[in-house]
Chains A and B, each alone.
Chain A
Amino acid sequence: MSDGIRVAALDDIPQGEGIAIDKAVTGTADDIALLRDTDDSVYALDDTCTHGDASLADGWVEDGYVECPLHSSKFCLKNGDVQGLPATRNACPHRVEVRDGEVYLFPGETP
């Protein structure tokens, strides 16, 4: 259990949107999307849509889900579960903590 990586300030992520954290920073196979929900909670999922070729950090974040910017497959922010075609596989979630307005990412840790 690490202390996590400080990857962004909360204010860096607009409400209802996301930013991508480079895999060089996260040490994961894929970039990680930090997604700020409409209630200001922050979640992290592998950035590449499991249907391929799209960044979930560019998606529409609302009410507990992120919608892929290409074909609108929806993924649950909490656990990455896919909610609609064309994607058929869940997105991999990562644990996130927000402390004093700073966002800490725990790559590979289950939320």
Chain B
Amino acid sequence: MTDRVVIVGGGIAGVSTAAALRAGGFEGDLSLVDAGEFPYDRPPLSKAFLAGTKDLGQIALQTSDWYDDQRVRLVNRAVVTALRPSDGAVELADGRLLPADRVVLATGGGAARPPIPGAGSDRVHVLRTADDADRLRPALFPGARLLVVGAGLIGAEVAATAVRLGCEVVLVDPVATPLAAPLGPELATWLHTLHTRHRVTTAQAAVESFTDRPDGIEARFTGDATPQLFDAVVLGVGMVPRTELAEQAGLEVDRGIVVDTRQVTSNPAVLAVGDPARTRHEGTLLPRTEHWEAAQHDGARAAATVLGTPPPAPTAPWFWTDRHGHHIEGVGSMADATRTVLRGSLDDPSFAVFGLRDERVVAAASVDDPSAVRAARRMIDRRVTVDAARLADPAVNLRTLLRG
């Protein structure tokens, strides 16, 4: 019997767990511990919040009334320092103990800080929290020379936001076509060249070292790229899952907190959700997922486990990113596709790319055509077979293909 649940971490995974517990009928005591003032949504940190067009209150994950309405005790400005599953409690930094029959770890991750010489400079930023964004924002003034390292989702979004604010942006990545794996080569190439069309200078390079100079920070690159001086640098090179609490509690950790398909860790009293959770499925450790919606689904599964109810039906993984005024979405696993089909023209967004395998859609990605991805998601989930020629024809309503 679970009477008291403590959720450690107020990101999308933690808040979704709390919401799903109450939606599922959990009547017990429910606490959510968060380091900040209140839980906020992270995707806007590289976009509207960084640009200053939305403040922290406008990106709150829930309204302040929600916590009372849902009887979620928000333990804010607090840090959990130890899990004590055998004592039925978690311990906070100020010595308080929160009683817990079950603990849900939603600890997220920190920005990766690669060991580049000179990366400790004050001019070098990362972007993971609202505080990071607040610290970066003053550096993004018109004419500022900004180096963004890493052209994945966050790096590309920061580059797009910064160039819109008037910065001179250089975006480097060691890979020629970033995001080719999740989006497919056609769309990824289009997307990367979009930077150039919006006055972002892109280069295939990695940074060897940074050196503080009186008038900026100098970056030296691998290969034959000339060293360059910048006012600020943003490292967007991935995240490191926060697993310390799990390790201290003796839970199984393997580049992530190992969980089963119901989000339960190696200790049945402790569950883990979101970025740091790593699922073992039929004996195999899967890669961690770091996407917003996947974290929500983890929360729904964890709640079902606590409640002893059937888990929600699985659905193809989905993500979005926004840059240079375009909305991009991806669903499914492009790596599983044996061929791709383009719907629309790369010269004229909107368009979508579908990844097929054996007459079935296994993935899709779109630029300014989210309905194509919503249709694709249903095609993947329902395992419908499709006619590739009709899929490619923008005159064919995708809903008719969905009916099989």
Contacts and interface: CB of A to CB of B under 8 A. Distances in A.
A15 B66 CA distance: 34
Given A72-B293, A84-B296, A85-B12, A15 B399 contact: yes
Interface in A1-23: 14-16
Given A70-B320, A72-B293, A85 B15 contact: yes
B61 A70 contact: no
Contact of B41 (A14, A84, A86): A86
18 contacts: A14-B397, A15-B399, A58-B370, A58-B371, A60-B374, A69-B370, A70-B320, A71-B43, A84-B296, A85-B16, A85-B19, A85-B41, A86-B43, A86-B61, A88-B60, A88-B61, A88-B62, A88-B63
Interface in A59-111: 60, 67, 69-72, 84-86, 88-89
Contacts of B63: 88-89
Classify chain A: how many residues form its interface, as a range.
10 to 19
B318 interface: yes
B327 interface: yes
Given A14-B397, A70-B327, A71-B320, A85 B296 contact: yes
A36 B337 CA distance: 33
B61 A85 contact: yes
Contacts of B318: 72
A71 B329 CA distance: 9
Contacts of B399: 15-16
Contacts of A15: 399
A72 B371 CA distance: 10
Interface residues of B, number: 22
A8 to B, nearest CB: 19
A4 B345 CA distance: 42
A71 B320 CA distance: 8
A72 B331 CA distance: 13
B397 A60 contact: no
Decide if the interface of chain A is mainly helix, strand, loop or mixed.
Answer: loop
B29 to A, nearest CB: 23
Contacts, number: 36
A60 B327 CA distance: 16
A15 to B, nearest CB: 7
Contacts of B66: 88
Contact of B374 (A67, A86, A88, A89): A67
A56 to B, nearest CB: 12
A67 B320 CA distance: 14
For B12, B15, B320, B374, the residue with the greatest tally of chain A CB atoms inside 10 Å of its CB is: B374
B92 to A, nearest CB: 26
Please give me the 7 A-B residue pairs with the lowest Cβ-Cβ distance, nearest first.
A60-B374, A69-B370, A88-B63, A16-B399, A86-B41, A88-B62, A60-B371
A88 B374 CA distance: 21
Interface in B108-125: none
Interface string B56-67: 000011110010
A71 B43 CA distance: 10
Nearest to A38: B399
A29 to B, nearest CB: 19
B222 to A, nearest CB: 37
Given A60-B375, A70-B370, A85-B19, 13 more contacts: A14-B397, A58-B370, A58-B371, A67-B374, A70-B320, A71-B43, A72-B374, A85-B15, A85-B41, A85-B61, A85-B296, A88-B61, A88-B66
